Amino acid sequence: MNVEKVRSDFAILQKGIVYLDSACMSLKPRQVTDAMMEYYNEFPACVGRSNHRLGESAKNAFEESRKTIARFIGAKPDEIIFTRNTTEGINMVAHSLPLSSGDVVLGTDK
């Protein structure tokens, strides 16, 4: 892995800092912020709620991203859900399991 190439995708890292506050806010690579700006500038609409041309464009981009992620991780597009953050995602999974009082959930960082 070319670490300098990866670092070049993060504008703030070009200022010679080391960022260690990912629990507060994770850094976003330039490709992500570019896509966010494209959304805000080109089709600012609510996916699934806006019934007009911009809403259709937003929905198509949203569904295309779901397909791209599914291909990348070897899943089906309808298995991909988006959450606000990791904690919300983990809580959704935990609450969907048939756990009972006294059950143990083991987590790992590997």
80-102 pLDDT per residue, tens: 999 988 889 988 988 999 999 99
In tens, the pLDDT along 58-78 reads: 999 999 999 999 999 999 999
pLDDT at 63: 94
In tens, the pLDDT along 2-50 reads: 988 999 999 999 998 888 888 778 899 999 999 999 999 998 998 888 8
pLDDT at 110: 67
Predicted model pTM = 0.68
Q: Judge whether 54 and 45 are in contact, CB under 8 Å.
A: yes
Neighbours of 48 (CB within 10 A): 10
**What is the C-alpha to C-alpha distance for residues 57 and 90, in angstroms, rounded to an integer?**
30
